[in-house]
Amino acid sequence: MPRLPHLRWWIATLLVGAAVLNYVDRQTLSALAPTIQTDLKMDDRAYANVVNLFLVAYTIAYLFSGRIADLMGTRVSMVLFVVWWSAANMVTAAAQGVQSLGVYRFLLGLGEAGVWPAASKAVSEWFPARERALAIGLYTMGATLGATLAPYIVIPLATHAWGQTLPGVAEFLGQGAGWRIAFILTGAAGLVWLIPWLWMYRSPKDSKLITSGEREMLEKSAAAESPAGSSEKPWTWRQVFTFRGTWLLLVGRLITDPVWYFYQFWFPKYLSADRHLSQDQLKITWIVYAAAGVGSLLGGWLSGQLIKRGTAPAASRLWVMLGCAAIMPLSPFIAQAAGLNLAIALAVCTVIAALAWLINLSSIVVDIVPKHSLGTVFSVVATGSTIGGIIMNLIVATMVSGPSTKAAGFLDQAIKSVASGLLELVQGQGYAQWFWIMAALHPIAWLMLYFCGVHRKTTVAPA
């Protein structure tokens, strides 16, 4: 069988493809939100609850998908996750109202979370420390590329005259045939991706496609990171939850990931509501999502350069993150900018910084956790991301809505039980307040991570 030079970068390309598909499927709803809300008679609070059902499922799945990846291995677990989320996206075409849409998005969330711990395991198996942040940046760029492409893929699909092209299909699907077909086709693409993945992916020691030089390089890297006599026994749940690094990184993501979730789920709606862009004009959001891709690559490259100059891996990530935190106070000026072009330009700057931050925060997990337990710790840390996203959704929904004329949903009730005063304070104040909040999140998180010593050797092993 012929060998593939630089096989690890071919595998990284497949991870990019999985991330693209993951985010196209995720962004289909937000890209088509105005149309779907009209067809299904959803207000903004109902939209927020549907998004939060996705995030609740995402959080639940994160707790277990990493352990599944550790037990089943990278190759098999990735197949499971991709098949699940692709099927869930396809059946979303059957949604007839808010409840059914919420159920299908919940199922999507159960599958989509798994790609990230599985991808982190692939990076830990196939890349040395100096290349990991760049590899993570690449597949995270795939996520942002998917978000960039989603409006250009799904909006034309949703607005196409299917009644003329495929009248039988359009008649069968009924009201909203365009957006329903968009869900079916984007979901089906994930099943096609499985073909090259099953052919190419094995661990380095089992791969028949790897060259001898690349295998030797990876073996030397693994030996340097796992000295003789080090334990290869997976951590127990108790060890995972008593490891200080788990909690520092979880809180770090809880504080900062809401910024990226806002740009995914609410920025198009902000442009529609406050900047008065039409459904077709919302294609301009590709610029913001492309900027996220730039941030993903730039963040990984910068910390890689610091490692080459002798900086310890975890410390190199923190220095890059400090620069990112210094840029985020530009956020309030996005809402204050008089012109759309200036607002987009400022959003581009903050999104680049937010994604460069996320890449390096994710890389710290890979730097300080042994390979045998990486999926589990990564997924527990990532629950902080989705919890932060849920809180952000409810706060922003409250900010942009007046008093509800409908009974509060269960998510609204849960948050109100612990934060009713805060929600009443921000209710109906519009998007501007959230842009002010985004200015402070990353600086606060950096101070916590640095002074609590997430980069120090005392966090390398559980107590």
DSSP line for 77-131: HHHHHHHHHHHHHHHGGG--SHHHHHHHHHHHHHHHTTHHHHHHHHHHHH--HHH
Angle at 317 between CA 316 and CA 319, to 5 degrees: 65
Domain residue ranges in the chain: 7-459
Structure confidence at residue 10 (pLDDT): 93
In this structure, which topology does domain 7-459 adopt according to CATH? Growth Hormone; Chain: A; (1.20.1250)
Structure confidence at residue 437 (pLDDT): 92
Structure confidence at residue 455 (pLDDT): 76
Spatial contact of 415 and 408, defined as CB atoms under 8 Å apart: no
Angle at 385 between CA 444 and CA 29, to 5 degrees: 125
Spatial contact of 351 and 435, defined as CB atoms under 8 Å apart: no
Structure confidence at residue 391 (pLDDT): 85
pTM: 0.74
In the block, tokens 């994930």 appear at 190
Which residue, 245, 446, 246, 433, is CA-closest to 354?
446
Through-space distance between the first and last CA atoms of the chain, rounded to whole angstroms: 46
Distance, CA of 138 to chain centre: 13
Q: What does pLDDT average to in each consecutive run of 10 residues of the chain (463 residues)? A: 84 94 88 84 82 85 86 92 95 88 93 90 86 84 82 85 80 80 91 94 88 86 60 80 92 94 87 83 82 87 87 90 96 92 95 94 86 82 86 84 55 60 69 92 96 70 51
Angle at 14 between CA 21 and CA 249, to 5 degrees: 75
How is residue 50 written in tokens? 């549907």
Structure confidence at residue 254 (pLDDT): 95
